[in-house]
Chain A
Amino acid sequence: DTAVSQTPKYLVTQMGNDKSIKCEQNLGHDTMYWYKQDSKKFLKIMFSYNNKELIINETVPNRFSPKSPDKAHLNLHINSLELGDSAVYFCASSQEGGRGFDTQYFGPGTRLTVL
């Protein structure tokens, strides 16, 4: 059983397109996150949600819109994709309230390539 799953694993698309990445966790956690890892392996938080409420929004362009239909799911929709959006996007979850007080469990990542 996969604890945190993401789909798709790979996403290749043209500049200007809109795409979504889905994330689901079956750990019963209250908090979910989206991270972006660039080509230099630098990992930076984008968003966190606690019980479907936005807790952290780290100055991410508003082309990125997270949506949490329930506390087990946090999807990421990206409008008007740009070359600089190419990266690996990781979803994560934790039991606590959204900043990092507790262990985070990561999904396998979605490698997004914008051409």
Chain B
Amino acid sequence: SQQGEEDPQALSIQEGENATMNCSYKTSINNLQWYRQNSGRGLVHLILIRSNEREKHSGRLRVTLDTSKKSSSLLITASRAADTASYFCATLYSGNTPLVFGKGTRLSVIA
């Protein structure tokens, strides 16, 4: 399976702290995307990072990509209770395969 792996599976932090989630993948990629899913809702796209990029920012979100280690991380700074959700990485591998989603990290931010 080419499914990526998020780490940790679950993370619980206090409001105001930073949250870091990691994603490892298997082979060379075209891009890697991060999505958020609130309970009972659809997925919402956060950031797309291409294989030739190393870092991207969006508001309180920072995504890094290390192609030598085949890994990516999502950092949420100054977390809020509203950030409580599951976070998924999705990898588009080189070749003809579709986007592959990982199993997600469940983040709980406690007020």
Contact = CB atoms under 8 A, between A and B. Distances in A.
Interface of A: 4, 40-45, 48, 56, 58, 90, 92, 98-109
A59 B43 CA distance: 23
Nearest to B41: A108
B42 A90 contact: yes
A14 B86 CA distance: 31
B103 interface: yes
A106 B43 contact: yes
Contacts of B96: 99
Contacts of A45: 98-99
B25 interface: no
Contacts, number: 57
Given A43-B43, A104-B43, A108-B42, 6 more contacts: A43-B88, A45-B98, A56-B98, A100-B30, A100-B31, A100-B92
Contacts of A56: 98
A54 to B, nearest CB: 12
Contacts of B90: 100
A47 to B, nearest CB: 10
A100 B33 contact: yes
Contact of A105 (B31, B45, B103): B45
13 contacts: A4-B42, A42-B3, A56-B98, A90-B42, A98-B98, A99-B92, A100-B92, A100-B99, A101-B31, A103-B45, A106-B42, A107-B42, A108-B42
For A48, A92, A99, A107, the residue with the greatest tally of chain B CB atoms inside 10 Å of its CB is A99
